[in-house]
Structure 1
Amino acid sequence: MDALSKTTFQKPNIQTYKMYLILQLLVIISAFISLEHGPITVYAKPYTSAVASVNKHTDGAKPLYSVQMLTTYINTMEYLPGNFLIDIDAPIIWHDCIVQENMYHGSCPPNTLCTSPVSCEESECSEVRTFYSYKNPSCPPEIDGYSSSRWGSCTCGVNVLNPMTSSCDQPLLNYDEFTLRTSDGRNVFSNGNYGTFPKAACAPSSSVASFPANVSGVMAFSSSLYAFPASSYPPLKRTFALCFPSKTSAPGVLFLGAGPYYLLPQSNVDVRSYLSYTPLLTRPDSFDTHPDSFGYFIRVNSILIKKRSISVPANATTKLSTMDPYTTLRTDIYNSVVRRFSMVTKRLRPAKPVAPFGLCFSTSTNGLRVPDIDFNLPDGKKWTISTANSIKQITSEVACLAFVDGGATSEPAIVIGTFQFEDNFLVFDLVNSTFGFSSSLLRKKTSCSNFNFTLTYNA
């Protein structure tokens, strides 16, 4: 037997033996504690967020963005990916599915997503109808339906706004499930899922016929208690981050949870270090003029273009929108912005305006560089709109200022649209009512398409 083997099998001394007994006792005590009170912290999954890909769609009348989440086929109990339009104003989630009381194996039609209905007699039904359904004189009265199940329960119809047709739809309120992958902000865990169980509504396939290809519903990310962020639970907080891609070929990313967040190639730089913050105003003074809104508002004090400040009236509100493709300005603000921008770009050759834009330039396929446009916010904060987010390339020869005249009575006075969101990292902290923004990530040598979606096993 060699020296190493002899050392291995030597009888331990009395001190070593005592330490061994103490360690064994600690292990036994820990086991009893874990049985009584649940898993001890050392074995908790190290996730800090749930994560999903964000896709850009250009096959409709306007660019739209969807998030991919997992739903469940009832017949096979398998996870099924689904794409849902991201709407930060909608009060409730709704999508293409069927409500069905008898949820036994094999009862759901093939290739169909089935969910369980909320009864019209439940408190959630009256609550949604009273506070969270779409209110418009053109909407039909909300009605109850009756299922053909052996219980004979009534179903709960609720009004929603179809963002593609601007018309009312009346899907049925249901108990739903959506699942995302867990993450530490840097990696996506292949063996970790984060399931949420919000109330949602089932609409017929005809309601989503005008949606982009492979998009089957609306995922609400508003401040509503029936929107997706409200269904989060510990360890995740009611915080979500959006990072919209500028191209259809590579996805952006959505995080549920307060971070950290990482993008390649700076894999060790938390994106939160790039952010500035401003208060979220979920119920501005002018809320009475748009009572259906559960969206997010911020205060813009002025707009700065090459050292010249354009004042924004103190009573003007600024809304954030994932459904408006370009920033819309009330006519008085729009005219001032266009006038100033025209002056600082006199060296550029003008081009005939292309609707819906009012100021366009002759350019080449290489594009052009123009001065930044700064939204000056409270407490000296500044959201910088750089060339990538202010100039829209229309053709190889024409580019336009990507701001739109909203009309003389537009309310809110400013609506910041998705073109200005692209490749900007945006954080909606609903716990502290703050909005975090990075300005263009391109200036940080990264983009919204640089999250690493490669699955990693988390032991």
Structure 2
Amino acid sequence: MEFHHLFSFYLTIITLTTISLFHSSKAVNPIILPIFKDTTKPQYYTTFLLGTPSLSVSLAIDLSSPWSWFTCNLVGFNDTWYSGVPNSSTYRVQRCTDDNSCAVYDSNYCYTCNSPNCKPKGNMCTGEIYPPSLYTGGSFYGGHLLAPLLLDIITVYKSNGPIPLGKRVYGFSFGCTGVDDLKGLSRYTKGVLSLARKDSNSFHGFITKAFKIPNKFALCLPSASKSTLNGAMYFGGGPYKLPPSKLDLSQFFVKTALVVNPIDVGETYGKRNSSIEYFVNIKSILVDDTPLKINSSLLVIDKNGLGGTKINPIYPYTTLHTNIYNALVDAFTTKAATMNITRVGQVSSFSACFSSKNMVGTKTGPKVPIISLKLDGRNEDIWRFYGFNSMIKVSNDVRCLAIVDGGLSVKASIVIGGKQMEDSLVEFDLESSKLRVMSSLLRFGTSCSQFRGA
């Protein structure tokens, strides 16, 4: 096991036993997992203990994958398709007699493994696994593979005042894949943790059932990549309090409905009746309170399931339909010019770049035009991206708009990515089908990345 994985796990223990990352006055023993950032991708991942004996597993956070999965042979298991019994003494294969018997596991495939090097032999259910490289690289059709499904024990932490308590829980479901499927993932990870909008196989669904807590989770993505800093995933609901602020941060939430895309055009191959991804309705996009002039139909999911807005931090930056992107860049450039901020040439994949000479530093990042998403709901339900979330530093003299052009044939017109979610609190409430967002914790002098181990 790589040193970084071990260090990340032990750092997590130190961090969680030093302070309560999120404090809830209503929820009883909320569940917490750390979030780390790899800036080389960039990508966000979590770490927890799996199996018996316990081994540290690091998985990328994905809100669209129908199954959690990893390269089992690299983290103490051996791939059950080809060789060896998993090193864990508590794993169990999800057995089947035919394809229909796998329905209880939300699977349609029963695989017979009777080759000499297959241990354990027999029939096992398989799940559709979607390596992010197949759908974040621009392919419209994506792709998938089938992997055997297993169950095992994991260790999670329940917040009990200032000292979280470790709890081993059986029933975490996952698929075992090969090393080639790690393409596109952080070098620190060995697979994907599913937080998709479904209860049967998602991690939040497992945690909800195991601990009998509300089916909701919040992401606080860190912006820092230093190994002594991390954000958090929080399961069970608020209110939320982050030191040094003593405020209940949930009072600053804006909210909107989570929308079900009735046609699954997501990252899946066998199309389901509806999408398992997280969509919301955006009424308009504003730059310094001026709405963009765009075709409003792009903001709506059409009869073919295309268009609209989805959220997933597996995408490092927010991606826009070309027509929306061009309108945004034009408006941003015009507003920036009134602030004596001049546009410069393209840098790498970022086409909208600006001289930072006249950018004034603030606690929410460089002072630039504020990009806002008017959510479907009340007039005050606006998700704002201040300079910290909208810009990326590419040199001492240049900062670029950290939003990319996705092309004309994107599935979702807007995909809100990780950079725009950093140091903000984003709650996915499956109980009431609501998205709640607090824009930029930096406004309150705190961040998702401030927590340090002793």
Fold agreement, TM-score > 0.5: yes
Q: SS of the residue aligned with 1:449?
A: coil
For 1:17-59, what per-residue CA distance to the aligned partner results, in whole angstroms no more than 9, with x for missing partners? Answer: xxxxxxxxxxxxxxxxxxxxxxxxxxxxx84311111000123
Quote the sequence identity (%).
Answer: 27
Letter in 1 for 2:344: A
Distance in 2 (alpha carbons) for counterparts of 1:325 and 1:113: 37
Letter in 2 for 1:118: Q
Q: CA deviation at 1:124?
A: 8.3
Check whether the contact 2:113–2:121 (CA below 8 A) recurs between aligned residues.
no
Match of 1:91 among 66, 70, 76: 66
Matching of residue 303 in structure 1 with residue 285 in structure 2: yes
Q: Where do 1:353-432 residues align within 5 Å?
A: 353-363=346-356, 368-379=366-377, 380=379, 381-432=381-432
Letter in 2 for 1:376: K
Matching of residue 237 in structure 1 with residue 185 in structure 2: no
Matching of residue 226 in structure 1 with residue 201 in structure 2: yes
2:231 match: 252
Distance in 1 (alpha carbons) for counterparts of 2:407 and 2:79: 46
Distance in 1 (alpha carbons) for counterparts of 2:90 and 2:188: 18
Q: SS of the residue aligned with 2:328?
A: helix
Q: CA deviation at 1:212?
A: 2.2
Matching of residue 173 in structure 1 with residue 141 in structure 2: no
Letter in 2 for 1:55: F
Q: CA deviation at 1:399?
A: 0.8
Matching of residue 279 in structure 1 with residue 277 in structure 2: no
Distance in 2 (alpha carbons) for counterparts of 1:307 and 1:206: 46
Letter in 2 for 1:170: L
Distance in 2 (alpha carbons) for counterparts of 1:124 and 1:183: 40
Unmatched runs of 5 consecutive residues or more in structure 2: 1-26, 136-142, 301-306
Letter in 1 for 2:127: V
Distance in 2 (alpha carbons) for counterparts of 1:49 and 1:453: 20
Q: How many residues align?
A: 385
CA RMSD across the alignment: 3.1
1:70 match: 49
Q: SS of the residue aligned with 2:388?
A: helix
Check whether the contact 1:92–1:132 (CA below 8 A) recurs between aligned residues.
no
For 1:242-297, what per-residue CA distance to the aligned partner results, in whole angstroms no more than 9, with x for missing partners? Answer: 0000011111111111133321112x32222221211111x225545764641100
Check whether the contact 1:100–1:117 (CA below 8 A) recurs between aligned residues.
no
Q: Where do 1:45-56 residues align within 5 Å?
A: 47-56=28-37
Unmatched runs of 5 consecutive residues or more in structure 1: 1-45, 134-140, 455-459
- TM normalised by structure 2 equals 0.76
Task: Label 1:128 to 1:272 Cα distance change in 2 as closer, same or farther (>3 A).
Answer: same
Letter in 1 for 2:317: Y
Task: Label 1:397 to 1:286 Cα distance change in 2 as closer, same or farther (>3 A).
Answer: farther
Match of 2:314 among 319, 323, 326: 323
Letter in 2 for 1:274: F
Q: SS of the residue aligned with 1:171?
A: strand
Task: Label 1:142 to 1:385 Cα distance change in 2 as closer, same or farther (>3 A).
Answer: farther
Q: SS of the residue aligned with 2:410?
A: coil
Distance in 1 (alpha carbons) for counterparts of 2:120 and 2:409: 52
Q: In terms of Rg, which structure is larger?
A: 1
1:352 match: 345
Letter in 2 for 1:306: D
